[in-house]
Amino acid sequence: MLNGVISAKFIVDSGAADVSITEDMVSDLMKSGTMTGADLLGSKAYMLADGTMLQGEIYRMASVRIGGMVMQDVTVRIAAANSSLLLGQSFLRRLKSWSMDNARQVMIIN
């Protein structure tokens, strides 16, 4: 859940530097008033898995909630509208520990 207003399914990507959301989601968050231009942190260069370099805008997300856990002030990268939503290191590195149970297809957060 993003800023308490948008619910979405993310792919856990431990190789992604930041949480990645789409332009459409940013637009919806702006319309809801839970994100403003003041949340823009600037831009950042990203290297994709294939070695391609990409420049992307980054924002401060007031809150990201997974289950009962809420993480505040999470850096998010803005991706094209058709991009996958990624739960990257700007969220994952702040957890004490996490793991994946592939048999049950669940993420375990401690």
Residues 26-31, mean pLDDT to the nearest whole number: 96
User: What domains are defined for the chain?
Assistant: 11-109 (2.40.70.10)
Give pTM, 2 decimals: 0.89
| CA-closest candidate to residue 87, choices 21, 23, 19 | 19
pLDDT tens sequence across 43-62: 999 888 888 898 889 999 99
Q: Both tokens of residue 67?
A: 């289950």
pLDDT confidence bin for 40, thresholds 50/70/90: very high
Find out whether 13 and 90 touch, Cβ atoms under 8 Å: no
pLDDT tens sequence across 61-103: 999 999 888 999 999 999 988 999 999 999 999 999 999 999 9
pLDDT at 28 over 90: yes
Q: Look up residue 2 and give its DSSP letter.
A: B
Reduced to 3 states (helix: H, G, I; strand: E, B; else coil), residue 32 is helix
pLDDT at 110 over 90: no
Return all residues near 36 (Cβ < 8 A) that are at least 6 apart.
30
Structure confidence at residue 13 (pLDDT): 93
